[in-house]
Amino acid sequence: MHRVLIVISHADDAAAQEATNACKHLAQRGIACVFDNDDLDHFAALGVSQPEGSKTYSGEDLDLVMVLGGDGSILRAAEIVNDNPAPILGINLGHVGFMTEAERSEIPAVLDAVAAGNFSTSERTTLEVKVWQEGKEVFSSWAINEVAVEKSARERMLEVVLEIDARPVSSFGCDGVLVSTPTGSTAYAFSAGGPVVWPNVEAFVVVPLSAHALFARPLVIDPESTVAVEVLRRSPGSGVLWCDGRRTFDLGPGARIEVAKRPVPVKMVVLDNAPFADRLVRKFSLPVSGWRGPEAEA
């Protein structure tokens, strides 16, 4: 372990101080810390001194990306190191923080584990998206959680046709359509009525948003499939494309949005190999009182 990029939440002022402490902790073990320019500007805006010995990240190789924040900060970190294969470790300073691996109180222990290399990694499937207009590719991007096609005006619905593997499935008026990864199944797709998909399941979820149709249920599809959403020319409203709620592109009538599996996954640090069901219960505070377990039948 030689170089760590630290990404901080701008919504929690304490994140800057936590980053300073973490940087000092790692420096004592010979590990250099680098920061994105936006985060260094945030230190200055808060009147907090830049961590001693820290430098600006300029695309050099990294051993780890440590995120002090919530899921939104993890998505920003992935955007910063888009072409860098370094694994991402999330430490939750937010609310749910479903993608994070540890809590604020565990930071000292996490830093020791990082310095010693006592962690494993898991690969998370990502999406790539292309937008075509009048036969020309006009936009391309990627996403960890979801690609969302949404109406751009509240008062006008979006008329679309949904296609999977070059075959039409259904057309309807709607607020939009989501294509989600398993990672994103606990995010926007979950709030829109989609199923929770275990991280080790290879699948995508397609979720229509407030569709005016008899057949508009969430679909769980092969991750090798290509999903296309076409904005009909008769659509009364225009649309907008969102990738993880961070990168956006306006969609005109006749736009075609193609979503497929991205060849490059994102690596996430794993510190605890507890079952995913335990994470689900903990993060969503699900009621499990009365559970007896399999040993009760023995």
Torsion of CA 82, 163, 154, 189, to 10 degrees: -50
Is 71 considered catalytic here? yes
Q: For residues 83 and 232, what is the distance between their CA atoms, to the nearest angstrom?
A: 35
Distances in Å between the Cα of 280 and the Cα atoms of 145, 244, 276 are 17, 21, 6
Task: Provide φ and ψ at 113, rounded to 5°.
Answer: -65, -40
What's the start-to-end Cα distance of the chain, in Å? Answer: 47
Residue 147: HSE in the Cβ half-sphere, 13 Å Cα cutoff: 25
Q: How many CB atoms lie within 10 A of CB 1?
A: 14
Q: For residues 241 and 176, what is the distance between their CA atoms, to the nearest angstrom?
A: 9
Least Cα distance to 174 among 191, 151, 192 occurs for: 151
Catalytic choice (13, 61, 63, 71): 71
Structure-block tokens of residue 92: 């939750």
Could you tell me whether strands 102-103 and 88-92 are parallel, antiparallel, or unpaired per DSSP bridges? parallel
Query: Catalytic residue positions?
Result: 71
